[in-house]
Chains A and B, each alone.
Chain A
Amino acid sequence: MIFADFLRNRRREQLSASDLAALEDSVWDVQKTRARQLIAHARQPIRMSTYLMEGFICRYMDDRNGLRQLVAVHVPGDFVDLHGYPLGRLDHDVATLGACKIALVPHERLDRLLVERPNLTKLLWFSTLLDAAMHREWIFRLGRLDAVARVAHFFCEIEAKLRAVGLSDGQHFAFPLTQADLGEACGMTSVHINRMLRELRERNLMQVQRNRVTISDLSALRRLSDYDPSYLFIEG
């Protein structure tokens, strides 16, 4: 099943078997991508939306000097660029971070789903509103938190999202991002990130080793970063 993780532990129970089958039928192709592959270019017309089955994808914007700000990191189960369906083009680039498996849904098939399936339409809308909620949380992170709290907050979000789709047990998860990626997500240099990761390790809160995160004290990590996961609308 392609959409096995879509809205898992969120509003999955509202997705009827019939709607799920229609969503599965809407997929044009499933592709394996390499790491660091551009999926959607900013300002160019797009005719398909990407559902992430495996791996990590980011949205990003580059400044005039080529310095990058990640504006979202997506995990399996995310319908990554559903925004491009009503917008017709994106205002940012979308690229894989590690190797990924994606499903491509042509917009004309989404047109049909929207006409025929109001409940599925509402859930797809819910999915894009989740992205909006995450963007608000990222603004809070970058505007309000100091360096160590920003990094802690980032990991709290990734952990919660991965746990919702069964890819974190609350303590351990695979994490293919580099310190440079983390810097671009948290608005810091990679040297700064390195120091903050060391601080988190020395406080016995979490550590990153060989593309794997181990969180020793999730409650303390959340307290440190003012993290409240309610914006993710994860149930249970």
Chain B
Amino acid sequence: MPRDGVFDQAGEAYAEEGQVMLDGPDGVAVSLTPGAAEQTARALLRAASDARRQLDGRELES
């Protein structure tokens, strides 16, 4: 883990009794309804895409 606490290790997701469980990395351990899990997944993909563009922009500037 880098010193600033940003993880390069993915969390794991499971389905159990109609709940979606997201575990790790670090202290993440949440249970979501399927709908909330789908929204979270979409939001994560959008944020990851934005973050990649930010990184690409930084590389172009340097």
Chain A contacts to B: CB under 8 angstroms: 142-148, 150, 186-189, 191-192, 194-195
Contact = CB atoms under 8 A, between A and B. Distances in A.
26 contacts: A144-B26, A144-B27, A145-B27, A146-B23, A146-B24, A146-B27, A146-B28, A147-B21, A147-B23, A147-B24, A150-B29, A186-B29, A189-B19, A191-B16, A191-B17, A191-B19, A191-B21, A191-B31, A192-B16, A192-B19, A192-B21, A192-B29, A192-B31, A194-B16, A194-B17, A195-B21
Given A146-B28, A191-B16, 9 more contacts: A143-B27, A144-B26, A144-B27, A147-B21, A150-B29, A186-B29, A191-B19, A192-B29, A195-B21
Interface of B: 14, 16-17, 19, 21, 23-29, 31
Contacts of A146: 23-29
Contacts of B25: 146
Contacts of B24: 146-147
A181 to B, nearest CB: 16
Nearest to A145: B27
Nearest to B17: A191
Q: Most A CB atoms within 10 A — which of B21, B23, B24?
A: B23
Q: Most A CB atoms within 10 A — which of B16, B19, B31?
A: B31
A205 to B, nearest CB: 16
Nearest to A148: B23
Q: Which 3 A-B pairs have the closest CB atoms?
A: A146-B24, A147-B29, A189-B31
B14 A195 contact: yes
A190 B49 CA distance: 34
Nearest to B22: A147
Q: Most B CB atoms within 10 A — which of A150, A189, A194?
A: A189
A82 B17 CA distance: 41
Contacts of B21: 147, 191-192, 195
Contacts of B23: 146-148
A150 B19 CA distance: 19
A141 B31 CA distance: 18
A188 B32 CA distance: 11
Contacts of B14: 195
Nearest to B31: A189
Nearest to A194: B16
Q: Most A CB atoms within 10 A — which of B14, B17, B27?
A: B27
Contacts of B28: 146
